[in-house]
Structure 1
Amino acid sequence: MNEFEITISIIAGIIGLFAGAESLVRGSSSLALRMGISPLVVGLTVVAFATSSPELVVSIKAALEGNPGIVVGNVVGSNICNVGLILGVAALISPMRVKTQLVKREIPIMIIVGFILLLVLANDSISRFEGVLLIIGIFAYVILSYLYARKDGVIETSTEFIEGIPAGKAKSAWISLLLIVGGLGLLLGGAHIFVNGAVEVAVRLGVSQAIIGLTMVALGTSLPELITSIVASFRNENDIAIGNAVGSNVFNVLSVLGFSSVINPISSSGVGYIDLAIMMLFMIIILPMSKSGFVFKRFEGAILLAGYFAYILYLAL
């Protein structure tokens, strides 16, 4: 591939990933609304899974083609991006009120999942057996989120907007299913093109696949989360903005690495302890931030953004 073809591959791949994720989010959110699930639960599960679908498809594609550095780098980089860039931008747009459910349950779960990742990567690889355990973990997370929502009394018909879809105007089940299927098709096509372009960039620049995964691939696959949280923040849908970022981090570790390693055992080649430590730092730091008046303030968003760009600068040097 020449430079023009590489550029076109990356741009076309990102467009396919974004369009596919957007279609998947709208279809799955609409189905969830018809089921009467609350905005916070939708953000933590349905939207989080849908917006994490580019990471999942890209990582599975990379695993099948024997590019393990992209898989782990994509997950770690995306998790850093979700907190540093996405929550940072969302908080700068509008200070976000945090529900006690996030502080007491969801953010601690995200932190625990982060430590599970450190434990799994202790031997620098993820086996099929460990992948199965991670997949069991994501199913347990979804089921527990639903059960806790029922216990908290938040399983109800939402009157709020989710991804621009009013609850009273949720699409028919057939249209929602078509959006989901079409979105998956775009995701698969976009992932194929994007991974090929990313690998070529790594070869041309002479850098490791992990660096490409931590930066370009992570940012490219995190675009759906970024757009979702920005739109939600402008609409003051704080539940979706925060729940999307927190839920996506859980899905990235448990489902993306889980399914990828079951398909083909992967190694963390190129992803160092510093990268993992920075990921954990970002995950942990939002807990005290969210407890300070139960509001993510603009200056806290600025701190997260500054930390993210400092990390990117560290990788570039």
Structure 2
Amino acid sequence: MTGSVGWFIVGLVALAIGAEVMVRGGAALAPRLGLSPMLIGLTVVSIGTSLPELAVGVTAALEGSGQLAVGNIAGTNVVNIMFILGLSALMRPLAIEQRTLRLDLPVMAGAAVLLWILAVNGELSRLDGLILVCCAIGYSVMLIRMSRRESPVTLDAYAHAFPPTQQAGEATKQVGTSTLQHLAATLAGIAVVIVGAEWLVDGAVGIAREWGVSDALIGLTIVAIGTSAPELVTTLISTVRGERDIAVGNLLGSSVYNILLILGITCLVPAHGLGLTHNLVWIDIPIMVAASLVCIPIFISGRRVHRAEGAAMVAAYLGYLVFLVSFQA
């Protein structure tokens, strides 16, 4: 038991550190590659904070623990939507931008429903994975098009969140060196995340075996909460700094990419797809769908998430955890 818990904790710490290094390196590198602020916030940062889920998912699939991979995605999205977003609104009422209502929110809800439709036969095949990845590409294309109509407010918000490290008067050689440093940091962060994911999955599977619970339950709870650490940190920091657009964009973008890109790639790994348990198909994934759909009336009503609504979302997540431990252990 001690060994499994130890490897899980070490892997979790490595995931958190690696994701933070990768996100910061990628966010600083992206402007030098000509990417716009909104595109960085909703792709580079969102995909970066979802990198732990990808590493865990692929590692779990390769080791024959596909239920852990799917449970991790379902659990992580519930954490993102109900707990982290609710906690952010509880700290400070959360205003919702028109772009979020027109693109991010419906795509997130649609991705959740699509996943459930693909999963009802009890399996996620390589074809299902290909469908999800194609949808992720389509979503990214829409983001690129919308980034061309970026508002000055969004530009200022991103510039404040990720201040430029180079001043206008610096020499070209220094800029090139800085670019290489950011690239090296990004690659190093990815490497740490991959290693950390292997340790975390090994520890999580060991804990599941020793406690006599399913891989799916471990993925839905401790692995999901652990791999959500980058989103939690990014959102709380953005909330404290008053950069709410980045906080919401990161959470919704991560939730979309978790399903479409991360789980889609994971489904492509094993030759026979990912087998799903009855609870995953008819309880856990539907709960994730419900969490996504309930955001629609909350976001639309006054285009603001109030503190009371945030408190209700956090309470609902805590109740969900009690349900999981009590009835699915």
Superposition TM-score, scaled by structure 2 size: 0.90
Task: State the match for 1:80 in structure 2.
Answer: 78
Q: How far is the alpha carbon of 1:164 from its aligned partner? A: 4.9
> Would the alpha carbon gap of residues 98 and 117 (structure 1) be closer, same or farther in structure 2, given more than 3 Å must change?
same
1:96 and 1:278 map into 2 onto residues whose CA distance is: 23
1:166-245 aligned within 5 A: 166-167=163-164, 169=166, 172-245=178-251
For 1:165, give the aligned amino acid.
F
**Runs of 5+ in structure 2 lacking a partner?**
168-174
Q: How far is the alpha carbon of 1:168 from its aligned partner? A: 6.0
Q: Which of residues 243, 257, 262 is equivalent to 2:263?
A: 257
- 2:239 aligned counterpart, secondary structure: helix
> Would the alpha carbon gap of residues 239 and 44 (structure 1) be closer, same or farther in structure 2, given more than 3 Å must change?
same
> Higher mean Cα deviation, 228-237 or 27-36?
27-36
Task: State the match for 1:52 in structure 2.
Answer: 50
For 1:282, give the aligned amino acid.
A
Task: State the match for 1:292 in structure 2.
Answer: 301
Alignment check: 8 A CA contact 1:33 1:167 kept: no
Alignment check: 8 A CA contact 2:41 2:158 kept: no
1:258 and 1:108 map into 2 onto residues whose CA distance is: 19
Q: How far is the alpha carbon of 1:206 from its aligned partner? A: 0.6
1:137 and 1:192 map into 2 onto residues whose CA distance is: 28
Alignment check: 8 A CA contact 1:37 1:154 kept: no
Q: How far is the alpha carbon of 1:154 from its aligned partner? A: 4.1
> Would the alpha carbon gap of residues 78 and 173 (structure 1) be closer, same or farther in structure 2, given more than 3 Å must change?
same
For 1:101, give the aligned amino acid.
R
Deviations, residues 134-179 of structure 1 (Å, cap 9, x unaligned): 11211221121111221x3449993435695314649832122111
Deviations, residues 262-310 of structure 1 (Å, cap 9, x unaligned): 1111122251412122111111111221122222211111011011001
CA RMSD of aligned residues (A): 1.9
Task: State the match for 1:96 in structure 2.
Answer: 94
> Would the alpha carbon gap of residues 162 and 232 (structure 1) be closer, same or farther in structure 2, given more than 3 Å must change?
farther
Task: State the match for 2:171 in structure 1.
Answer: none
Whether 2:280 is the aligned partner of 1:271: answer: yes
- 1:271 aligned counterpart, secondary structure: helix
Superposition TM-score, scaled by structure 1 size: 0.93
> Alignment identity in percent?
35
For 1:222, give the aligned amino acid.
S
Q: Which of residues 317, 322, 327 is equivalent to 1:313?
A: 322
Whether 2:254 is the aligned partner of 1:248: answer: yes
> Higher mean Cα deviation, 159-168 or 270-279?
159-168
For 1:299, give the aligned amino acid.
A
> Would the alpha carbon gap of residues 305 and 169 (structure 1) be closer, same or farther in structure 2, given more than 3 Å must change?
farther
1:168 and 1:184 map into 2 onto residues whose CA distance is: 21
**Runs of 5+ in structure 1 lacking a partner?**
none
> Would the alpha carbon gap of residues 155 and 250 (structure 1) be closer, same or farther in structure 2, given more than 3 Å must change?
farther
1:290 and 1:78 map into 2 onto residues whose CA distance is: 20
1:157 and 1:284 map into 2 onto residues whose CA distance is: 26
Q: How far is the alpha carbon of 1:31 from its aligned partner? A: 2.2
Instruction: Give the paired residue count.
Output: 313
Task: State the match for 1:143 in structure 2.
Answer: 141
Alignment check: 8 A CA contact 2:120 2:281 kept: no
Task: State the match for 2:170 in structure 1.
Answer: none
2:162 and 2:261 map into 1 onto residues whose CA distance is: 26
Alignment check: 8 A CA contact 1:90 1:229 kept: yes
Alignment check: 8 A CA contact 1:36 1:158 kept: no
Greater Rg over alpha carbons, structure: 2
Q: How far is the alpha carbon of 1:44 from its aligned partner? A: 2.0
1:287 and 1:187 map into 2 onto residues whose CA distance is: 33
